[in-house]
Structure 1
Amino acid sequence: MFVGIDIGTTITKAVAFDEDGTEAAVATSPTRLHTPAPGHYEHDVEEIVRGVGRVAAEVAGGTAPRAVGITAQGDGLWLTDGAGAAVRPAISWMDARAAPIVRRWMADGTAAEVFARCGGMVFPGAAAPLLAAVAEAEPETLRRAATAGYCKDVVMRRLTGMRATDVSDASMPFLDPRTRAYDPGVLEACGLGGWDHLLAPVAPAHGPLAPLADGGLTALPEGTPVSCGPYDLPAAAMGAGVVRPGDALITIGTTLACQVVTAEPAPDDVPAGLLLGTWTPGRWLRAMPAMVGTAALDRVLALVGARPADLSGLLAQSPPGARGVTALPFWSPAGERAPFVEPAARGSFDGIDLATSPADLVRAVCEAVAYAARHCLEAAGWNGRVVVCGGGARTDGWAAIFASVLGRPLHAAQGAEVGARGAVLGAMAALGHAADLDRWTATTRVHDPDPGAAAFYDAGYAHYLGRVAAARERWRAEHGSPSTTTGDHVLSTSRP
């Protein structure tokens, strides 16, 4: 048995996998977000560590696993002291407190320099602007910190005592993707040159690997091998078998995580998203993790008095095009980060009249999120196969919308816990344990596009791009942001 642990923004999961990749058991624990101020989102580190211990013990059921693989949410700022204890609550990637800093960096060229160096465009929830925000507001906090790490790295430190990160988490924004080492120029550009000692060492090859030292926390035998990483985006790609250049993975989760495999480490001409190192030499992930996703849909469902379980029925009640209702699904207080960066981005509906039904509003936002996925994939250089995973993909009606918007078959990843599956495959690779990847990463079904709907959605996508472009000009004008070329790449409406 192998155990994979996936620490998400709202839930922590532990999954036991058999030797052939079958999900044998799943345990969950809530991962709570705390909001101490408007636009501020934080985690209690001790609460998360205790949750990991509970789910690991529950899913193992007294059996000693061969290894434990950990993955988790990325970005944010997780500050710990020399013993690995938090010096303040962890700041989530959803946090908006650094939005003014990002706007300043976009205006003065800092964001462009960071992108040129690391291939990633900063956004309010990234580590660099959050470090800068804490340095301005809480300098004493940084002086007490020994490490500015990431979620999985904090848990790894508590379980094994190892202070390290892997190439995927280190990629944004401090790593040079060509050398796979930290770039001091990024720190200097962000005004953080004096804080380089806070960055944990980047483990070589297959990431951090160490024996479990705190067996009491998890009820697992001390000495059990524990692997840290990759973080949730690359872990999901690994677990879904998305490894060939041009192939893509869409995760329809709290956010819409779109990734395309590339053999080119240099940033392309779309200054947005992330360029993530992987554990495979010569392969990177061009990631466009948009802030839209099931969080936007859940908000609309709540506004119309519906539940996620009602989604299939609501989609059946409204035709393609939602009777003329369209949406921009930018609900996050932090704005948008891919395939463009706009801290001031906000959502809207258009085309509403007295005949508009709750089903029309729900379908409009589902279609808008699918348009956002196509926007992200095209910006990332997609030209191959598409695999889908995440909670949103389990609703056939919504998956069918994605397939028709993309005009390509949508392959559903095996099992519900793709991130945990990737974490276990990472642990197996770190241990030199050969896995049958064809079996572990086989897809389970295919959602084919409807030809008539696909033609309709081509026109709808062109309309969506026009609305986004117009909205960006308005957001900039309203918030005094300069007109920049960040993410202004004009995309073709023809499919790859």
Structure 2
Amino acid sequence: MGVSGVWVGVDLGTQSARALVATGTGRVAGLGVERLASLRDGTRHEQDPDAWWRAVGAACRRALAQADEPREVRGIAVAATSGTVLLTDRRGEPLTPGLMYDDGRAAGLVDRVNEAGARVWEDLGYRRMQPTWALPKVLWLLGEHRRPGARLAHQADFVNRRLTGHEVPADLGGALKTGAHLVDEDWPRDVLDALGVPADLLPRLVRPGALIGTVCADAARHTGLPVGTPVVAGTTDGCAAQIGAGALRPGDWNSVLGTTLVIKGVTREPLRDPLGVVYSHRAPDGGWWPGGASSTGAGVIAREFPGRDPEELISLAETCHPAKPVAYPLVGTGERFPFAAPDAEGFVLGGPPASEGERMAALLAGIGFVERLCFDHFDLLGAPVEGPLTLTGGATRSARWCALRAEILRRPVLLPENSEPALGAAVLAASPGRRLADVAAEMVRIRRTVEPRPGRRFDDAYLRLVGELARRGWLPAELAAHATERTGL
């Protein structure tokens, strides 16, 4: 890839819009951030769609102003939250607020959605939609705001229409939770007809990375982007983070450990999970990106040790590994992955920890054990799991924690220099006409490889946790047996 141009990636999140200007070698030439505000009230979570556009404009102007030298802007792509939707008129103007990804007002409609779409959801592998997914929210919006000529827009669609000045298709990643049939790459018309969703409400569908237009004059004045800049279909923020991590070839995996744990990988075929805890996005090359989100994560440490320096606690834990107590640490009630147990609660086996260091050691190891069990689940489903593993998320700020995870997982781990979703969107913007994995290989920089410590000192504790989860009826027997077999003990 030539390095004379730059590409712009936008990450439209819950709290801010981030615009990143990247060169062909992945160097960040500019970064702009603009805050966003939400309206929350119980299950209600809304944002003003016009505020998205104002924030995108401000973030792009700042990022482009920071670029150290004039360069040709060769493309832009927008990543956005998954399951955030609104209705617009024919001109793309909002008729409703944006119902955010976790808005729960449509929970009463999800059973109707799952009854009508049971065959399709089964075929796609996730088996059931969740109450906060987009399709139940579409029904809720139609019930509250139905108007002649209304159009459905996902969060990224709304911004892309403002960028181009005309109607745009939706990317398959963003449309997954609205019911898009990712195998057929079309809407399941019979299901949507049965639910009363008008055919003219729905946008056309394309894969992420497709060229969908160019920046119009009004958008150029608003964002600072040159008129005619190619606009490329983006994807969800989670998929954009995977792109930013460079995990794009079959067998590659990206484990994101922040408040909670999210793992995404690459397979040639979609994974059909009998438990319904894994679902797969469609990759630009026609392959699949399966993933799942657990309820464990660093949020447990923030709750158990409020106001404490995590690195100090990790240092205290160093001399206590492996801890005698075995912890199953959950951020809240209920587990989503690698098994579904709405009533699951965290616990500690082996009596109370003898010290702060041992308590911290048990929590760190427990998070690592859940991460390991996730890979055991992927392996049971037939996914290739032995390829490169990239770690991202806030937990990667700790070298000690990364080394511990490598040891528990018994595999090397890669730490990228910058893996934020905005970089992944910039990689997508640079991908038309090329394989996305090849573009990422040039733009995603790996800063370090962490090799696992020799030995298997955590295997016994891991098997104690697996056995207890099975005994409590949360972990299916088949997965417990497979995890045990994979330890080689």
**TM-score of Structure 1 vs Structure 2, range by shorter chain:** 0.7 to 0.9
Take 2:483 and 2:180, find their aligned partners in 1: how far apart are those partners?
Answer: 31
Equivalent residues of 2:270, 2:290 under 8 A apart: no
Residue 90 of structure 1 is aligned with which of 74, 85, 98?
Answer: 98
Query: Where do residues 218-229 of structure 1 align in structure 2 (5 Å cutoff)?
Result: 218-229=223-234
How high is the TM-score relative to the length of structure 1? 0.81
TM-score (norm 2): 0.82
Alignment partner of 1:41: what SS? strand
Alpha-carbon contact 1:167-1:279 (below 8 Å) kept: no
Q: Alpha carbons of 1:239 and 1:462: their partners in 2 closer, same or farther (altered >3 Å)?
A: same
In structure 1, C-alpha distance between the alignment counterparts of 2:283 and 2:346, rounded to whole Å: 36
Aligned ranges for residues 83-482 of structure 1 at < 5 Å?
Answer: 83-99=91-107, 102=110, 104=111, 113-121=119-127, 122-132=129-139, 134=140, 139-143=143-147, 146-161=150-165, 162-172=167-177, 174-187=179-192, 192-203=195-206, 206-213=209-216, 214-265=219-270, 267-281=272-286, 283-294=287-298, 296-297=299-300, 300-301=301-302, 304-306=305-307, 310-318=309-317, 319-320=320-321, 324=325, 326-331=327-332, 336-342=335-341, 344-345=342-343, 347-350=345-348, 363-380=361-378, 381=383, 382-413=385-416, 415-430=417-432, 437-452=440-455, 455-469=456-470
Greater shift, 425-434 or 377-386, is seen at: 425-434
Q: In 2, distance between residues paired with 1:48 and 1:394?
A: 30
Per-residue CA shift, 1:256-278, capped at 9, x if unaligned?
22112111136254422211111
Contact residue 120 and residue 181 of structure 2 kept, 8 A:
no
Preserved CA contact (<8 Å) 1:79 1:145: no
SS at match of 1:156: helix
Q: Tell me the number of residue pairs that the alignment of Structure 1 and Structure 2 aligns.
A: 466
TM-superposed CA distance for 1:305, in Å, is 2.8
Counterpart secondary structure, 2:432 = helix
Opposite residue 378 of structure 1, the aligned amino acid is D
Shift of 1:54: 1.5
Hey, what does 1:480 align to over in structure 2? none
Letter in 1 for 2:291: A
> SS state of the match for residue 312, structure 2?
helix
Aligned to 1:10: 15
Code of the residue aligned with 2:443 in structure 1: it is W
**Matched residue, 2:3:** none
Same amino acid, percent of matched pairs? 25
Is residue 77 of structure 1 aligned with residue 85 of structure 2?
yes
User: C-alpha separation between the residues in 1 aligned to 2:269 and 2:386?
Assistant: 14
Larger Rg: 2
Structure 2 alignment gaps of length 5 or more? 1-5
Displacement of 1:228 in angstroms is: 2.6
5+ unaligned residues in a row in structure 1: which ranges? 475-484
Counterpart Cα distance in 2 of 1:374 and 1:142: 47
C-alpha distance in structure 2 between counterparts of 1:125 and 1:385, whole Å? 33
Distance 1:156 1:113, change over 3 A: same
Cα deviation digits, residues 308-347 of structure 1 (max 9, x gap): xx11111121233555262331437xx55433445x4564
Moved more, 426-435 or 117-126: 426-435
**1:142 positional shift:** 4.2
* 1:1-58 Cα shifts (integer Å, max 9, x gaps): 2221112333432222123221223222334444211x44333333332222111111
Separation in 2 of the partners of 1:44 and 1:354?
48
314 and 29 in structure 1: CA distance in 2 versus 1, 3 angstrom threshold: farther
Greater shift, 141-150 or 256-265, is seen at 141-150
Which residue of 2 is the match for residue 492 of structure 1?
Answer: 483
Question: 1:119/1:436 Cα in 2 relative to 1: closer, same or farther (>3 Å)?
Answer: closer
Q: Distance in 2 between matches of 1:313 and 1:285?
A: 36
- CA distance 1:473–1:412, shift in 2 (3 Å): closer
* Alignment root-mean-square deviation, CA: 3.6
CA contact (8 A) 2:208 2:234 kept: no
Deviations 1:183-237 (A, max 9, x none): 234436xx52434443321125732432122123213233222223132233233
Change (3 A) 1:216 1:301: same
**Residue 173 to residue 86, structure 1, CA distance change in 2 (3 Å):** closer
